[in-house]
Structure formats: structure tokens, C-alpha cells
Amino acid sequence: MEIIQTIAGLLEAVRRNKPIVHHITNYVTVNDCANIALAVGASPIMADELEEMNDIVSIASALVINIGTLNRRTIESMVAAGKRANERGIPVVLDPVGAGASGLRNAAVERLLSEVKIGVLRGNLSEIRFAAGLESLTKGVDASEADLARNEETAQQVAERAATKLGCIVALTGAIDVISDGKRTLHIHNGVPQLSGVTGTGCMCSTLIGAFCGAKQEGDLLLAAAAGVAAMGIAGELAAEAAEGKGSGSFHIAIIDAVSRMDSELLASRAVIEAAAL
């Protein structure tokens, strides 16, 4: 499949170009995000001080904004970094962790979406529904059972509506991941249930998306997002095999091991991606 071969080639581009991925992320998973960036071949910077946003973004290849542990100080840094990234034409990945859970969090997401041109929005079903202005019932940082049980719209329809409305790539991650720009939509069938039992796998996925987006300045962000999501899903599969019978701690470490050892051939051989019917 041509899409899979292109995505595999993006991994080679990441390792060759070593994109600098600037993160403004949460303190729960900042170490995981830095390590997964290094594992895939990128160079992470974890900086959130407003006074250095202009300098840091000026040397970055991509910006990843994650609102997991939000505060008013970092909101200003996120907006400033996003605007500088837009000026430079580098991709911005937004991970709206827990969108819908609080007034401050909701206002921050709305401000970022209105003041910053987002390249890729990655989140679960509840987070994407909220960001798109659709009715959403959040469950902390996880997709709520109520949203998952809705039958008026499929995950694909939600992703496509959100992408069209927001003018960005939407990576809606779940049991089956949906990547869409509103016109083109991909389904990714990689991953294991254990990924939802370890803190930070969503954040690490956003980091991988940032690395793939930053590998080529004028690349196709839809395919870059798909590459990041597929790589995370495959890493979960490999980690589950390596840590079988050992527990969640071993599984956690095995995810980073799997990404560090992944090459384009492995990615191509294990990726299960299909283009949705128009």
C-alpha cells in the first residue's frame, strides 16, 4: 500500500533530519515525551517560560502543546509559542487533554484554536467532540462511556466534522484510530488495550506526531499524523509481546524500547492502515 510505504519513509526522514520538537507539556508525562522523542530520532526541548518562547520556537522544527497540567502562566506561553510557530511556518500539534472538564481548560482550548493555526489536533473522542463544538461528556482525561456509546455519529464522522470546522488534521485515537483532514480519512488498526492502562501513552503519541510533522517542513501533515499514531500503536503491540506476564511497569519501558528499535521495514510490515471510503 502506497500510504504505508510513504509513512515508513517518514521514519527514515525523522532519523536522518533529527527534528527539534519543542514541547509545552504536562509535568506528569514530560519525561516520557522527551524519551519517546529521542527514541524515534528527534531532539526534544521541554520549555514553558514565556520569556524564552521566541528563541526556542525559532530553532524548532515542530511545536507540541499539551494542556494536561494547565495553569495560567503556561497558557500565555502556549499562545505565544503557537503564534511564533505560525510565523515561522512550522507545524503545531495540540493535545487538548481533558477538554470539557473545567472552565479554565475549556477557555484555554478555545483560545488556542482561535489564536493559533493548529496543524494537528490529537485527542480522544470526548476531547475532539468538545474542540469541535459538539456535545461532549468528559471523564477526566479519558473518553467518556456516554460519548463512546453515542450512535448518532461515528468516530469517523466526528473526526471529519472537526477537521472541516477547525481547518486542521484531526487524529482521533481510540480502539480504531481515525485520521482526517475533512476530505481524506484513514483508519489505523494498530495498538493494544494495555496502552490505556499506562499514563502518558496519548502524550507520547502526540510527541511522535510532532516528530513526524517536523521531519519535513513541507510534508503532508495527514500522513505525518498517521505515521505517529501507527508508530505508537505498533510500539504498544511490540511492548505487549516483550512484557507478557511482567506487568504494566515493564510494558511502559518496553514502549520506548520498541520505538528506539523500530525501522522503516518493521513499521511498513506491521502497520494496518486503510483509507476510508469517500
Sequence ranges of the binding site for ATP: 122, 173
The secondary element (H helix, E strand) that includes residue 207 is: helix 201-215
Are 62 and 19 within 8 A, CB to CB?
Answer: yes
215: Cβ contacts below 8 Å, ≥ 6 apart: 10, 13, 14, 17, 19, 61, 224
- Other Cβ atoms closer than 10 A to 88: 14
Which residue numbers belong to the known binding site for substrate?
46, 200
For 14, 75, 175, 183, the CA distances from 146, given in Å and listed in that order, are: 38, 29, 16, 27
DSSP per residue, 133-181 = T-----BTTB--HHHHH--SS-HHHHHHHHHHHHTSEEEE-SSSEEEES
Which residue numbers belong to the known binding site?
46, 122, 173, 200
Closest CA to 37 of 266, 260, 198: 260
Q: Which three cell numbers stand for residue 67?
A: 494542556
Distance CA 111, CA 75 (A): 9
